[in-house]
Structure 1
């Protein structure tokens, strides 16, 4: 009879690394300190005056936004002998991916001339997303400068439900901490690819976003190119998509706000709008998928099952297209600009349960009403 010998391996020892708390002034070696990330006791938090507040009070519902004529500054940059001249000041330029995302060091956004601001608009339209590091002057300039900077690129949008600092209604604030970040128990993930305020008749164009406080890890933002997503599809299918119109609406978020804890945030009724599924950029002429799982309700003229089949395919196509995406990791004094007309994004909520706060500001200039890729496609 053979004898079987069983060998029991002794577990190897391991070292448990304990990360410093947000209140630890030392932080991790080589990383921004908690103070630099805007952490620390709330009583001494330096950006308390920029927390989102709720205006107006209940019952003070304003009128829908009126149409306006928008001229994109990028048009002027096309006539410049060197449209990328403003990047000559850069000390380092890194392309995150071939199709999307460029990180820039050494360019001071707060000191750009008007010509350079025009060039910035064109560069963002072409690269979809641009990340500018070490923007101390931009941060220190404060709310009035942020309003002026954004106004150069279009009429500033006032969020219909979100909070803003007192006296700065055009600066949309987001704030999360251990008491406000939660795990979504109904869905596998809270990630949601979208474009901001796309249900408006004139959705945003060039958009700026920056974090006043951010977790040491987590809370990154993903971006996807609607231009590249469209290019991956078959020519005949793209031709078909050009003929489609969609219904977008902000009614659901408004109803959520009215019925929940954010009820007093509602400052105007949202509208339902018809947009093309494929839009054309007014400056570059590029075509882009322009859909939004958060706001797109249906394809005009299609029954629900037909509409859902097409839209869900396109949503999945965008989410799975990692060859047309980039990921931005936040750092102190970083400003990210993207073109909301041809770019989608999704924030990560992987820091839920962390005591660290994530506090950011968005400057959202509106642009033109989406231009259909197919000439003659009637939206009204």
Structure 2
């Protein structure tokens, strides 16, 4: 029995090593993604447990790598990171280890470290197709446009009609202000996939930046025919109309955007500020408050909401509540980077109003009112008595 168990273990180790060797040859000869071990007949937990036993008896770089890949497949990036660090202590020149490290850091949302891992993987000769896709996207996020082009060119040289590569090259060219190349690549992506939303949006924005509003609207109409309920497209159409001075039409599209997406602070902010300057304060308030719920950095909107609560709401018995709300929004309107004298003045003013309202609800204020009432009553009675005395004197 003991011999059988050891034979099975030895066979499993040999399979893993053979798989690793095959991957190494594939990386040198092709742009295809290296084959990674995946759970089939046995569970992830059993695979990890079995590998852990082997590592305990005979640790090696590639065994740590194989276990890291298993963790990575289960999105357990922290465990994968521990194993990859151990693998790199044994062999820091293996490109596939750095490629796996790139994927770990992307899952951990650490782009700087991911970029460094990608650069090392490239230095040590990585040829995996999927590497260039991830590395290209990472360079897009880091605004390293030329390097991004190189990555996606690797893909397009193998698959000239690859959708993502076409899109990202168009996106990068647009960011570099190369409109001719950008339009070409984005249109190629759309021609391959009519409902490629990101490509439609990028092309609309590019036409806007170029002030080609007619083309921007045409592209938006094409996209809306495919995505009639997409809030981003509605917002972009609003932008285009605002760009051409058609503010009323723009507001229609912004309101529609707000209906379709209650989290779109941009649309709510646009409508709210428009209503505020039109002095339609009851209409502006809900839009501005919702915009601020999703973006606390809208300092001007916060000031406007404070102004509405201070001056444009029915205060009466709720004066203290509204003044406190005004104070809260004036405080939100303060920016540490840009001190504003108007906000400082508003905070001083509203603090005085709150203090007055608090005093009006105190026993001292009630006693003062009673004293004032009694004094006024005594004054009225005195004036009445004086008028009677005057009448009597005049009648004699």
* TM bucket, shorter chain: under 0.3
Greater length-normalized contact order (CA 8 Å, ≥ 6 residues apart): 1
TM-score by length of 1: 0.24
Structure (1 or 2) with the greater strand fraction: 1
Larger radius of gyration, structure 1 or 2? 2
TM-score by length of 2: 0.23
